[in-house]
Amino acid sequence: MPESAGHWKAAVIQATAIVATAMVVGLIVNAVRKDGITLIGDWSADARLTTSTGEHLIVPLAEAEKLFAHQAAVFLDARSKPEYDAGHIQGAVNLPWHEVEQRFMAVAEGISPDRPIITYCDGEACALSKDLALFLKEMGYEKVRVLVNGWSLWRDAGLPVENG
């Protein structure tokens, strides 16, 4: 048996031991520390879009549709300009999250703090709309909600869109 073959067996045993050590230490430290996290997290959209004060930011499509029909909310598209130009919810204003610092003042000028705002981007896991919503709340806007996977949902439902 070539000498190196012993290396492979040793490697498997050692690697397993290293992984086991990491698991035990990691789990114990996580359980003991103040800022440990739960082992099975809730990564549903609603959980991700609930603030630390318990406010649920999600707005269902049906409700967003109603607000749109009554022109009762401002829709903010958190995606980049090229994506916005390619297609967005009719009447939505583009406020790319990646450029929020430069663009916020100009966009916010026309929106009073008590006006309902709905942010959206594209994709179930897209965090642009959430980041924008939380930012807006910090800036003093009280009624900000997020339409998860807004662009795809809206478009697939055949609701009014425009481009440019």
Partner 1 sequence: MVHALRYSMIGLLNTGARIVLGGIFVYAGYDKILHPGAFAEAVFNYQLLPDFLINLTAVVLPWLEVTLGVFLLIGIWIPGAAALSTLLLTIFTTAMLFNFARGLDISCGCFPTSASEGSMTIWTILRDAVFLLPAGYLFVTTFFAMPVVGPRSPQKQEI
- The binding site for partner 1 (CB under 8 A) comprises 3-4, 7-8, 10-19, 21-23, 25-27, 29-30, 35-44, 79-80, 82-83, 86, 97-98, 121-123, 125-128, 131
- Token readout for 135 is 């930012």
Closest CA to 140 of 120, 107, 119, 115: 115
Minimum distance, C-beta of residue 121 to partner 1, in the bound complex (Å): 6
Minimum distance, C-beta of residue 154 to partner 1, in the bound complex (Å): 16
Considering the complex, state which of residue 68 and residue 120 has its C-beta at the smaller distance from partner 1. 120
What Cα–Cα distance (Å) separates residue 106 from each residue in 64, 94, 100, 118, 132?
24, 11, 10, 17, 15
How is residue 97 annotated by DSSP?
G
Considering the complex, state which of residue 59 and residue 128 has its C-beta at the smaller distance from partner 1. 128
- How many H-runs (helices) and E-runs (strands) does the chain carry? 7, 6
- Whether residue 121 lies in the annotated active site: yes
Considering the complex, state which of residue 71 and residue 102 has its C-beta at the smaller distance from partner 1. 102
Considering the complex, state which of residue 116 and residue 123 has its C-beta at the smaller distance from partner 1. 123
Minimum distance, C-beta of residue 112 to partner 1, in the bound complex (Å): 28
List the catalytic residue out of 76, 121, 148, 153: 121
Closest CA to 74 of 126, 132, 152: 132
Minimum distance, C-beta of residue 21 to partner 1, in the bound complex (Å): 5
- Token readout for 149 is 């996977």
Closest CA to 118 of 102, 98, 100, 141: 141
Residue 39 has φ and ψ, to the nearest 5°, of -70, -30
Catalytic residues, which ones?
121
